[in-house]
Chain A
Amino acid sequence: MNNIAIKVDQISKRYRIGSKVEKHDTLGGALASWLKSPLNNYKRVKKLSDFKSSAEDDIIWALRDISFEVKEGEVLGIIGKNGAGKSTLLKVLAHIIDPTSGSATINGRVASLLEVGTGFHPELTGRENVFLNGTILGMTKSEISSKFDEIVEFSGVEKFLDTPVKRYSSGMRVRLAFSVAAHLEPEILLVDEVLAVGDTGFQQKCIGKMGDVASQGRTVLFVSHNMAAVQSLCSRGILLKNGGVQTDAEIASVVKQYIVDVTTKIEQEKLSDRPDRQSGDKLRIRSVEFFDAETRSPINSALSGQAISIKIAFENLTNSAIGDVNFGLAFYTDHGSFLFACGSRPSGRTYTIQSGGGVVWCDIPKLPLNAGRVRFTVHCDTKKDTLDNVSDAGYLDVEMGDYYGTGLVPAKHLQGVFIDYEFRASNK
């Protein structure tokens, strides 16, 4: 069992990020640049794959000198923030993209699941798609034929096998696709967490199946930023940061390290200066602060059941007003599981934001959180586009509070949220 299944040696991958396109204010300038544009465009497109010529300023290293080994039968979790290089690493190991330098040796049959249903064609029947998808994933026709009945049974779409997939509900399509993937029998499985889309039941099924694969002594590489899933599946973890391996250790300590990292980031970088945001050039969220709703004083930690107000400060960086703006906050556990979200649009409020700074408040009359630390994402958009979005924008420590006013809580140790409810006695 001590054979090496995957040996990664100094793998690096670089990409070129687009350099800014010049803009012209005069007609003459625009005309000149239009005439020159084919040449410039050619240079720009060519540069995507040609790294010889120019300066290094617009090159990013998605992966830098990554080395690690995975033993046969080991289940390795790869974690890290968005843009840390998790998916790139998986794509390199799946042989989809070539590394810029370094090498990896993989001993055994590899299957990679970066999504389910690759190559599914809506016009083809379920049966045809099973064969197509199966061969794309690397099975032979005879392998699929021998497992065909199992695949169909597992998916539960027997009745619709000869119906074009475009007539399927999205749930049926995903079930059939996953069923094909689940019947791959590779020695090494590379899985991206995007696999775990769909409803919770399906996610459970995916994770359950991965657990099965792992318990059969196969090697699994699992990329995710759901710490709970990683911790339950994996024995060892690798934490990637800015394209490099930051920690390579037993899973619990890697997860802990990841959480510490996120907290440190939140504590050390001002929200308004955070570079890891989507958009943020028209409207930028400056800060998110928590207040006690009654005393109006800022708080660092809250109690379950407390009435709190959340102050979102922002600045419209343009010279004109932006209409129909929605603000939102989404809360996650420390391990990255979603808890609940508050959005102004769903609750019936959108705002017109004048140029300059401003503030919106979100009042939560009864904080439904259990004791522990929650992180939140802050978001702001119009119907058309995202104005600003920062994941892990901050955290809030919650102390045990008397949510139900009885001094008791139903399930202290469970994660999740409190809700209001009532029990009634009934004669019938």
Chain B
Amino acid sequence: MLSCPLSSKMGLRGRSHIKTEVKMSQKNDHTTIIKAHSGWQILDWSELLHYKDLLYFMVMREVTVLYKQTILGFSWAVIRPVLSMIIFSIIFGGLAKMPSDGIPYPVFSYTALVPWLYFSTAMTKSTQSLIGGANIFTKVYFPRIIIPLTPVLAGLIDFFIALVVVGVLMAYYSIMPTINIIWLPLLILIMIMTSAGIGMWLSSLAIQYRDIRFAVQFLSQLLMYAAPVVWPASLIAEKYGQKIHLIYGLYPMAGVIEGFRSALLGQLEMPWDLIGMGFISGFILFISGALYFKRKERIFADVA
């Protein structure tokens, strides 16, 4: 559906493509080959690039619709982490006296809640996305990968709004950011990769096995307590030693959350061991998720 007027005249040339494994070659000749597919394929980035406008409008739709007909609108992006922070500060900071690496507990937990809430929302919504989008993708063709990626990208708006409040809290507790703040984009990248990776995995499973839909809510809760949101990752090293600490780093959100604390609050060193491990496993999750999604893609419309 490119806007090349010459296309159909050049049509016959495209027939030589028949034997190749090209799924949809929308080159200049606009020849589409439709056939049965099996096995693994890599994502067609050039096709995705052609549909960038669609991705943009899908994200816009997600963002605009989210707070439609609410009174507080985008304030919810701040209210959710702030309320969680208050509750956590009372229960874990106040009552349970959870250690917080010498950082005031409200800042300690809020800094973790910002990436955490992004991750859990993006993961949950992305998992549900194919089921919710079935009425679209059973009616028209476009790269299906756009569907699980949409909530992952749309969630960034809330994320950045919530991130601003970290600055407010830091000012209140007179915490100065350090040079480590330059690592924030890297941490955000790991965070997005991980969310997208899990989203692609779970959404393509959920469209066939709807149990995933229910399981993901429980999984999200479980993962929160596994992540250093209410407690510092330093506890792991203290209790179980460095080796286990390093293995724990395979959970990408561990590195991301501890990284956020170090990058923003600057009282701790950057946890490169956790971040490094997290980058590796987040990257693997992303690539394997894209591969698995692409493999399952052909059956979505059949099982939806």
Chain A contact residues, CB within 8 Å of chain B: 3-5, 7, 15, 42, 45-46, 48-49, 72, 91-112, 114-115, 118-119, 121, 123-124, 128, 131-132, 135-141, 143, 164, 186-187
Contact = CB atoms under 8 A, between A and B. Distances in A.
Interface in B127-175: 135-142
Given A3-B11, A3-B12, A104-B35, A15 B208 contact: no
29 contacts: A3-B12, A4-B11, A4-B12, A15-B302, A48-B302, A49-B208, A49-B299, A72-B8, A94-B140, A98-B299, A101-B36, A103-B35, A105-B18, A106-B34, A108-B8, A108-B11, A118-B135, A123-B69, A124-B65, A128-B57, A132-B58, A135-B51, A135-B54, A135-B57, A136-B140, A138-B1, A139-B1, A164-B68, A186-B1
B71 to A, nearest CB: 15
A314 B208 CA distance: 40
Nearest to B19: A103
B239 interface: no
Chain A CB within 10 Å, residue with most, of B1, B68, B69, B208: B1
A319 to B, nearest CB: 35
B33 A102 contact: no
Given A105-B17, A109-B1, 19 more contacts: A3-B11, A4-B12, A5-B8, A45-B303, A93-B34, A94-B140, A98-B35, A98-B37, A103-B33, A104-B34, A107-B10, A107-B11, A107-B15, A107-B29, A119-B136, A124-B61, A124-B64, A132-B58, A138-B141
For the complex of A and B, 3 pairs with smallest distance between CB atoms:
A107-B11, A138-B1, A103-B35
Contacts of A98: 34-37, 298-299
A91 B301 contact: yes
A140 B3 contact: yes
Contacts of B243: none
B248 to A, nearest CB: 32
Contacts of B238: none
Contact of B139 (A107, A114, A140): A114
A96 B141 contact: yes
Nearest to B17: A105
Contacts of B58: 132
A93 B140 CA distance: 11
A106 B301 contact: no
B206 to A, nearest CB: 11
B304 to A, nearest CB: 10
Contacts of B34: 92-93, 95, 98-99, 103-106
A83 to B, nearest CB: 17
A4 B14 CA distance: 11
Contact of A107 (B12, B36, B51): B12
Nearest to B69: A123
Nearest to A111: B1
B136 A108 contact: no
B53 A95 contact: no
B3 A143 contact: yes
Contacts of B209: 42, 45
Contact of A5 (B11, B18, B24, B139): B11
Contacts of B7: 107-109, 187
Contacts of B31: 105-107
B30 interface: yes
B182 interface: no
A115 B139 contact: yes
> Among B7, B137, B140, which residue has the most Cβ atoms of chain A within 10 A?
B140
A115 B140 CA distance: 9
Contact of B57 (A91, A103, A132): A132
